[in-house]
Amino acid sequence: MTTSSKKGSFLEHITIQDSFPIGTAQLEAAAKHALPAEVFGHIRSGAGGEETLRKNREAFEKYSIIPRFLRNVSEVDTSIRILGKEYASPLMVAPIGHLKMVHEEPDFAIANVAASMNIPYIQSTVTARSIEEVSEAVPHGPKWFQLYWSNNDAISYSMAERAEKAGYEAIVVTVDTMILGWREDDMRHQYSPLKKGYGKANYVQDPAFQEGLKDGQDEVESIIENLHHPSLHWDNITALRQRTKLPIFLKGILHPEDAKQAIKAGIDGIIVSNHGGRQMDGIIPSLEALPAIREAVGPDFPLLLDSGIRRGADVIKALALGADAILFGRPYTYALALQGEAGVQKIFANLAQEVAVSMALSGAKTIEEVKQLTLKIAADN
């Protein structure tokens, strides 16, 4: 996206407002009011005592941008290039499963928004619509597929192959969810979107899944069995590498040594993530893990980040600390619950615009210039 004060687009945020909540805190409050407690709790909450969930936000507040001025920022270009592909903005749609809990037709709505903005839609394994259904309904726009490894390797290979055939641009293997985190909110509410079968399309339409179904076994029960795979190992990643031509990203890497091992395994990119604090509590905030990982992988290796991004300045900080782009999670789920596709459009458009305004006010005309900005870290660290 190129935005220019001459065209007046830097003024949009002053003139265009409607009933949509402004700011992600207000959005979350409105979703809390609108959604059943167990659904809101499932989305909002983190694992354990929610230390990591909290620290994800605090990490951003520890860093301050030292802005540069007098640089003529009337033209700001937010576009990025990753693995040879150009996207309009350093924003991506984080894979979020089971969205049928908040909307009748979630996956088409979100894929449409991503396509209209030319940002990658990262489709979760556990969506209401399958890879094929999404690619048919929304044929344009960049789409990546997030893979939860299955206990039955054949299903994982089959899903990767289906994504490649459907024209998806990359496979994202999530490595931090080989078992489910300790989620007390869900326990209190006795709530499991998995058990409700909200995310079964990719499995039930998979030939390897159907072949592996035991006689009389319930499909949802089998999906849950497949999703839990504590044996996940680098050997699985190496095997997948040999079976797909698509670029592979690993989502959930937090240790520089794992990042180096990923490169050795032929991986094309890393998403530094703690799953929004939903998996292991007490682990490092993604933003704090980022600089050491950038150091380990070198300046050109594709590095993305999620967990805790809520506004434009957060995006600037993540890029200045070494990310090439960020994934945006929970807020778009709340927007979907409140206003459907229009809500998702507004939350992403607002964030994209806030990024452009933040770039201009920091003195960066391009993403490369954002990466050169200086950050000051609070003295208590």
Ligand X SMILES: CCCCCCC(=O)C(=O)O
Q: Which residues are annotated as a binding site for FMN?
A: 95-97, 124, 146, 174, 251, 273, 306-310, 329-330
- Per CB under 6 A, does 222 bind ligand X? no
Burial of 378 (0-12, 13-18, 19+ CB in 10 A): exposed
List all residues 6 or more positions away from 95 whose beta carbon is below 8 Å from its beta carbon.
Answer: 122, 123, 124, 125, 146, 172, 174, 251, 327
Q: Which of 41, 90, 97, 106 binds ligand X (CB under 6 A)?
A: 97
Query: Active-site residue among 98, 103, 229, 275?
Result: 275
Task: Report which DSSP code applies to 59.
Answer: H
- Is 228 designated active site? no
Cα dihedral across residues 119, 124, 129, 130: positive or negative? positive
Binding span for ligand FMN by CB under 6 A among 130-138, 322-330, 338-346, 352-360 = 322-330
CB of 254 to ligand FMN, least distance (A): 12
Using alpha carbons, select from 327, 269, 274 the residue that is nearest to residue 294: 269
Q: Which of 90, 97, 197, 322 binds ligand FMN (CB under 6 A)?
A: 97
Binding mask 281-310 for ligand FMN (x = CB under 6 A): -------------------------xxxx-
Element (H, E) at 134: helix 131-137
- Per CB under 6 A, does 180 bind ligand X? yes
Element (H, E) at 249: strand 248-253
Instruction: Report how far apart the first and last C-alpha atoms of the chain are (Å, whole number).
Output: 36
**How far apart (Å, rounded) are the C-alpha atoms in residues 4 and 66?**
23
Token pair belonging to 136: 């048919």
Q: Which of 44, 278, 310, 317 binds ligand X (CB under 6 A)?
A: 278
> Binding site for glyoxylate: which residues?
148, 183, 275, 278
CB of 262 to ligand FMN, least distance (A): 16
User: What Cα–Cα distance (Å) separates residue 159 from each residue in 8, 80, 163, 206?
Assistant: 45, 28, 6, 7
Binding span for ligand FMN by CB under 6 A among 90-98, 107-115, 134-142, 184-192 = 90-98
Contacts to ligand X by CB under 6 A: 97, 126, 177, 180, 227-228, 275, 278
Contacts to ligand FMN by CB under 6 A: 43, 56, 94-97, 124, 126, 146, 174, 251, 273, 275-276, 278, 306-309, 328-330
Please give the positions annotated as active site: 275
